[in-house]
Amino acid sequence: MIEIDDGGSIERAAELLRGLPGAINKVSRKAAQAAIKGIKKEAVNQVAEHYTIQRGRIGKTMRARRKGMGAEFIARGPVNDLSYFKHNPRSVPRRRPPAGTYLYSQVVKGQGGTIAHAFLAKMRSGHVGVFRRTAGNRSLPIAKLSGPSTPQMLENPVIRSYLEKQMANRFAQAIEAGTAEALGGKS
């Protein structure tokens, strides 16, 4: 959960609007709505800037909405398949690769490497994923490899601090504009 430090702007607005009953509630509600407007798009851009995941996979799990006197920005979802991130080979090989050939994967931009004994495969359902045998024997079952979930990517300190700053700036500007509007354009 991201909390916004308004820097005392609500207290200043409440002091200015104390003669107008209900005005501070209206102004703060509008400011909270303004703070989250467009935040989903910015969050998708930030995640895509730091991670190699496909953009279309990110936004589906985020939601920004008004809630009571405030607003909330929620990201939910399971871990993402490793196949949603950059990997090589890009498509499922027709034949089993020779022994000693490893799959390369990169989750965070600029950081990646090979995964021993991992391979790209297409399941009967049509799902393409990165898998690895659970043990060394070729006949044993396979396990799907996963990357971070969208909420985990949003918890990256760089992304989180950027989103907090953006929301705080928007909130402060909206409080200021709403206060001026409620006072009849005087500030």
70 and 118 in a single domain? The answer is no
Of 7-11, 41-45, 141-145, 175-179, the least confident: 7-11
pLDDT at 28 over 70: yes
Yes or no: say if 57 and 107 are a contact pair by the CB < 8 Å rule: no
Asked whether the bond before 97 is cis by omega within 30 degrees of 0, the reply is no
166 and 139 in a single domain? The answer is no
| Domain hosting residue 100, numbered range | 82-144
Q: Which of 49, 22, 57 is nearest to 149 (CA)?
A: 57
Residue 3 lies in a domain: no
117 and 160 in a single domain? The answer is no
Write down the pLDDT at residue 187: 46
Q: How many domains does the chain have?
A: 2
Compute how many other C-beta atoms are within 10 angstroms of the C-beta atom of residue 132.
16
98 and 157 in a single domain? The answer is no
Strands 113-115 and 70-75: unpaired
144, containing H or E segment: strand 142-144
Whole-model pTM: value is 0.77
